[in-house]
Amino acid sequence: MTSGSRVGPYELLAQLGAGGMGEVWKARDTRLERTVAIKFSHAAFSDRFQREARAIGALNHPNIATLYDVGPDYLVMEYVEGGPVRPTDDTRKLLDLAIQIADGLATAHAAGLAHRDLKPDNILVTKAGRVKILDFGLAKQTAVPGEDEATLTVTQPGTVMGTVAYMSPEQARGEEVDVRSDQFSFGLILYELATGRRAFQRDSVPETLTAIIREDPEPLPDSVPAPLRWAIGTCLEKDPANRYDTTRGLHIELRRLRERLTESAETVPQPAHRQATAPPAGHWRRRAPWIAAALPAAGLLALAWVHFGETPPLPTAPVRFLLPAPAGIDPTGTFALSPDGRRLAFYAKGLRGVREIWLHDLRSAQSRRLEGADKSVGTPFSFSPDGRFLAVQQRFKLTRFDLSGGMPGDLATWKSQWGAVGTAKERS
């Protein structure tokens, strides 16, 4: 094929790309006088292209390249004048790109279509800022998670298909994938857009595949808002069951985050030197001892107050932010933020269905259950000023939990009887 050649009513103008599966050309539709992109298939992939045609033809979305026509060995698609999505330091621009990508993916996923080769080169951005998802060449008809439907497999199980750097763990192992595999690839793309580097950049293909399957990426920088770090972390869960139930839910979460950021920028003055990891701990009293916040006032006559020092001065204005719950966790209301803004403690019902204390690291976007606090259901808790410890009331004692992994210890115990006066005694 050369420039000036004709394929049916289409005149070839310039080659846009070539690969193992075929070539892509910029062309002119002589009937409608419009510019199009034609993707030619090598003979071995003709069946695959027919499947791609059925997949793309079922979609109609502004963030997915439109399919115009199908030939015996080519597809005629919308010509997108733009470049691949690239990293940005602008959080709102990043969110706008993320929302558009998620919206397009959610539509495809709702139709049971997984892309399976999602990467920056397959996501173009026009001059007007419109995202277009391209190349569903590896897409397969798949059941939406939770539905008992037949699947149409493009490749045999055990065959690794896709671009290595943006594969999901299950894809890297050659396993069957569903739409949640695209969520992992999407998380890798967001990670790269936010940091300018790949999450799993290794020297060889085997090392990259091993890292995707077994390792965690470096924590996202503090410049990335905590809720966005949390969303990316959920996408990058190794187990598909721990990712989002639906990509539409992910899209809604990203959209709400953008709304909160816009609302804050319009209504709330920003402090000059605010930490990006999380808002300041506004629930702390300036000079109040931290243990006092964890003990009930009723029934206590004497209390050994322990003063660990002053908390930082409060900011001049509040800062609003959104923290979506981790997958499989149902927060129940009570929470506390550490003074350094790095940890959030909250009550939640986990996978066991029991109300427990959970800790969320706002830097790594990882959550874990607080071990040993099973007797503190519904009771108050409070961080130490340095954020290293959490004081939790457990029946008739106050326990200090070392969040770095040390053994818990009792800070105070007391006894209470009906009609009697309760006392508290500090233990050294």
Closest CA to 329 of 301, 305, 297, 358: 358
Using CA atoms, how far residue 408 sits from 163, 288, 386, 402, in Å, is 47, 23, 17, 6
Query: First-to-last CA distance in the chain?
Result: 84
Radius of gyration of the chain (CA): 27
Cα–Cα distance between 52 and 58 in angstroms, integer?
10
Residue 294 in contact with residue 393, Cβ under 8 Å?
yes
Residue 291, SS3 per DSSP: helix
* Token code pair at residue 422: 């309760």
Cα–Cα distance between 180 and 116 in angstroms, integer?
10
Closest CA to 312 of 346, 268, 273: 273
Edge to edge, the sheet with strand 409-415 lists: 300-302, 422-426, 409-415, 397-402, 389-394, 381-383
Cα–Cα distance between 89 and 332 in angstroms, integer?
35
Q: Which amino acid is at 348?
A: A
Residue 329 in contact with residue 340, Cβ under 8 Å?
no
Phi/psi at 255 (nearest 5 deg)?
-65, -40
Give the single-character DSSP code of 340: T
Pairing of the two strands 22-29 and 74-78: unpaired
Cα–Cα distance between 6 and 247 in angstroms, integer?
41
Given 29, 117, 182, 361, the catalytic residue: 117
| Max CA separation in the chain (angstroms) | 98
Q: Annotated catalytic, 69?
A: no
* Token code pair at residue 345: 């403690």
Residue 136 in contact with residue 56, Cβ under 8 Å?
yes
Q: Which residues belong to the active site?
A: 117
